[in-house]
Amino acid sequence: MSPKTFAFFLSALIVFPLDQATKHWIVSKLAYAQRIEVIPGLFDLTHVRNPGGAFSFFADAPEEQRLVFFIGTTVLAIGLLIVFYTKLRADETLSATALGVVLGGALGNLTDRIRFGEVVDFLDVHLWGGYTWPTFNVADSAIVTGVVLLILEVFLTGEEATDEPDEPGSATAAHRG
Protein backbone atom coordinates (compact mmCIF):
# COMPACT_ATOMS: atom_id res chain seq x y z
CA MET A 1 0.00 0.00 0.00
CA SER A 2 1.43 3.40 -0.94
CA PRO A 3 1.94 6.13 1.71
CA LYS A 4 -0.71 8.23 -0.07
CA THR A 5 -3.29 5.43 0.14
CA PHE A 6 -2.35 4.60 3.73
CA ALA A 7 -2.74 8.26 4.78
CA PHE A 8 -6.09 8.62 3.01
CA PHE A 9 -7.69 5.51 4.46
CA LEU A 10 -6.12 5.75 7.92
CA SER A 11 -7.35 9.32 8.42
CA ALA A 12 -10.88 8.39 7.32
CA LEU A 13 -10.78 5.26 9.50
CA ILE A 14 -9.83 7.35 12.54
CA VAL A 15 -12.33 10.18 12.03
CA PHE A 16 -15.43 8.14 11.16
CA PRO A 17 -15.44 5.81 14.21
CA LEU A 18 -14.39 8.65 16.53
CA ASP A 19 -17.32 10.73 15.27
CA GLN A 20 -19.80 7.88 15.64
CA ALA A 21 -18.48 6.86 19.09
CA THR A 22 -18.76 10.41 20.45
CA LYS A 23 -22.27 10.78 19.06
CA HIS A 24 -23.26 7.40 20.53
CA TRP A 25 -21.92 8.48 23.91
CA ILE A 26 -23.86 11.76 23.80
CA VAL A 27 -27.11 10.08 22.73
CA SER A 28 -26.76 7.40 25.43
CA LYS A 29 -25.75 9.79 28.26
CA LEU A 30 -27.67 13.00 27.61
CA ALA A 31 -31.35 13.53 26.97
CA TYR A 32 -32.18 15.82 24.06
CA ALA A 33 -31.25 19.44 24.98
CA GLN A 34 -29.46 18.34 28.17
CA ARG A 35 -26.24 20.23 28.80
CA ILE A 36 -23.05 19.48 30.71
CA GLU A 37 -20.92 22.50 31.51
CA VAL A 38 -17.29 21.50 30.85
CA ILE A 39 -15.49 24.86 31.03
CA PRO A 40 -17.82 27.46 32.60
CA GLY A 41 -18.68 30.24 30.19
CA LEU A 42 -16.59 28.72 27.38
CA PHE A 43 -17.45 25.12 26.51
CA ASP A 44 -20.42 22.78 27.08
CA LEU A 45 -21.60 19.42 25.82
CA THR A 46 -25.21 19.80 24.68
CA HIS A 47 -27.25 17.10 22.94
CA VAL A 48 -29.04 18.71 20.00
CA ARG A 49 -30.12 17.57 16.55
CA ASN A 50 -29.69 19.48 13.31
CA PRO A 51 -32.03 18.48 10.50
CA GLY A 52 -30.35 21.01 8.19
CA GLY A 53 -26.84 21.70 7.02
CA ALA A 54 -24.22 24.08 8.35
CA PHE A 55 -25.80 26.84 10.44
CA SER A 56 -29.13 24.96 10.10
CA PHE A 57 -29.31 25.66 6.35
CA PHE A 58 -32.45 24.10 4.83
CA ALA A 59 -33.60 22.90 8.29
CA ASP A 60 -37.20 24.01 7.75
CA ALA A 61 -37.62 22.22 4.42
CA PRO A 62 -39.92 19.18 4.27
CA GLU A 63 -38.11 16.12 5.62
CA GLU A 64 -38.23 14.11 2.39
CA GLN A 65 -36.78 16.96 0.32
CA ARG A 66 -34.18 17.71 2.98
CA LEU A 67 -32.99 14.10 3.18
CA VAL A 68 -32.81 13.69 -0.59
CA PHE A 69 -30.86 16.93 -0.85
CA PHE A 70 -28.36 16.25 1.95
CA ILE A 71 -27.85 12.56 1.25
CA GLY A 72 -27.49 13.28 -2.47
CA THR A 73 -25.02 16.13 -2.01
CA THR A 74 -23.01 14.10 0.51
CA VAL A 75 -22.77 11.12 -1.85
CA LEU A 76 -21.70 13.50 -4.63
CA ALA A 77 -19.10 15.09 -2.33
CA ILE A 78 -17.74 11.66 -1.36
CA GLY A 79 -17.41 10.81 -5.06
CA LEU A 80 -15.53 14.06 -5.68
CA LEU A 81 -13.22 13.41 -2.72
CA ILE A 82 -12.33 10.04 -4.22
CA VAL A 83 -11.72 11.62 -7.63
CA PHE A 84 -9.48 14.29 -6.07
CA TYR A 85 -7.62 11.58 -4.16
CA THR A 86 -6.95 9.59 -7.36
CA LYS A 87 -5.45 12.70 -8.98
CA LEU A 88 -2.89 13.21 -6.21
CA ARG A 89 0.73 12.37 -6.84
CA ALA A 90 2.15 9.48 -4.84
CA ASP A 91 4.11 11.86 -2.57
CA GLU A 92 1.13 14.07 -1.67
CA THR A 93 0.41 12.45 1.69
CA LEU A 94 -0.70 15.67 3.41
CA SER A 95 -3.39 16.22 0.78
CA ALA A 96 -4.38 12.55 1.00
CA THR A 97 -4.65 12.85 4.78
CA ALA A 98 -6.74 16.02 4.50
CA LEU A 99 -9.08 14.39 1.96
CA GLY A 100 -9.38 11.32 4.21
CA VAL A 101 -10.26 13.50 7.20
CA VAL A 102 -12.98 15.22 5.15
CA LEU A 103 -14.20 11.81 3.93
CA GLY A 104 -14.44 10.49 7.50
CA GLY A 105 -16.44 13.53 8.55
CA ALA A 106 -18.76 13.31 5.55
CA LEU A 107 -19.39 9.62 6.25
CA GLY A 108 -20.12 10.41 9.90
CA ASN A 109 -22.79 12.99 9.13
CA LEU A 110 -24.19 10.86 6.29
CA THR A 111 -24.57 7.96 8.73
CA ASP A 112 -26.56 10.22 11.09
CA ARG A 113 -28.85 11.38 8.29
CA ILE A 114 -29.55 7.80 7.26
CA ARG A 115 -30.05 6.57 10.85
CA PHE A 116 -31.86 9.54 12.42
CA GLY A 117 -32.92 11.80 9.54
CA GLU A 118 -30.77 14.52 11.13
CA VAL A 119 -27.27 15.07 12.51
CA VAL A 120 -26.37 14.72 16.19
CA ASP A 121 -24.46 17.80 17.39
CA PHE A 122 -23.04 18.33 20.87
CA LEU A 123 -20.03 20.66 21.00
CA ASP A 124 -21.01 24.13 22.26
CA VAL A 125 -18.42 26.90 22.24
CA HIS A 126 -19.30 30.22 23.85
CA LEU A 127 -17.54 33.29 22.51
CA TRP A 128 -17.30 36.88 23.65
CA GLY A 129 -20.38 38.90 24.43
CA GLY A 130 -22.48 35.84 25.25
CA TYR A 131 -22.46 34.62 21.63
CA THR A 132 -22.55 30.85 21.22
CA TRP A 133 -21.15 29.32 18.04
CA PRO A 134 -23.68 26.96 16.41
CA THR A 135 -23.41 23.53 18.03
CA PHE A 136 -21.28 21.09 16.03
CA ASN A 137 -19.71 17.61 16.22
CA VAL A 138 -16.49 15.71 15.49
CA ALA A 139 -17.46 15.19 11.82
CA ASP A 140 -17.98 18.93 11.32
CA SER A 141 -14.62 19.65 12.97
CA ALA A 142 -12.91 17.08 10.74
CA ILE A 143 -14.41 18.53 7.57
CA VAL A 144 -13.27 22.05 8.48
CA THR A 145 -9.82 20.81 9.53
CA GLY A 146 -9.37 18.88 6.28
CA VAL A 147 -10.38 21.84 4.14
CA VAL A 148 -8.09 24.18 6.09
CA LEU A 149 -5.19 21.73 5.62
CA LEU A 150 -5.83 21.66 1.87
CA ILE A 151 -5.96 25.46 1.67
CA LEU A 152 -2.79 25.83 3.75
CA GLU A 153 -0.98 23.33 1.59
CA VAL A 154 -1.90 25.24 -1.56
CA PHE A 155 -0.70 28.54 -0.11
CA LEU A 156 2.41 27.18 1.60
CA THR A 157 3.68 25.05 -1.27
CA GLY A 158 2.63 27.42 -4.03
CA GLU A 159 2.12 24.47 -6.38
CA GLU A 160 -0.25 24.81 -9.27
CA ALA A 161 -2.94 22.18 -9.71
CA THR A 162 -2.52 19.75 -12.59
CA ASP A 163 -5.05 17.61 -14.38
CA GLU A 164 -3.00 14.44 -14.15
CA PRO A 165 -0.71 12.97 -11.51
CA ASP A 166 2.99 13.42 -12.27
CA GLU A 167 4.86 10.32 -13.31
CA PRO A 168 8.59 10.12 -12.68
CA GLY A 169 10.40 11.21 -15.82
CA SER A 170 7.37 13.01 -17.30
CA ALA A 171 7.74 16.45 -18.83
CA THR A 172 5.70 18.01 -16.00
CA ALA A 173 7.80 16.33 -13.31
CA ALA A 174 11.03 17.32 -15.10
CA HIS A 175 9.81 20.91 -15.46
CA ARG A 176 9.13 21.18 -11.71
CA GLY A 177 12.43 19.46 -10.84
| Residues noted as catalytic | 121, 140
Phi, psi (rounded to 5 degrees) for 96: -65, -40
d(C-alpha 87, C-alpha 33), whole Å: 43
Cβ atoms 45, 38 nearer than 8 A? yes
Radius of gyration of the chain (CA): 19
Polymer length in residues for the chain = 177
Nearest CA-CA partner of 117 in 174, 176, 70, 55: 70
d(C-alpha 14, C-alpha 31), whole Å: 27
Measure CA 98 to chain center. 9
d(C-alpha 124, C-alpha 141), whole Å: 12
d(C-alpha 165, C-alpha 16), whole Å: 27
d(C-alpha 87, C-alpha 165), whole Å: 5
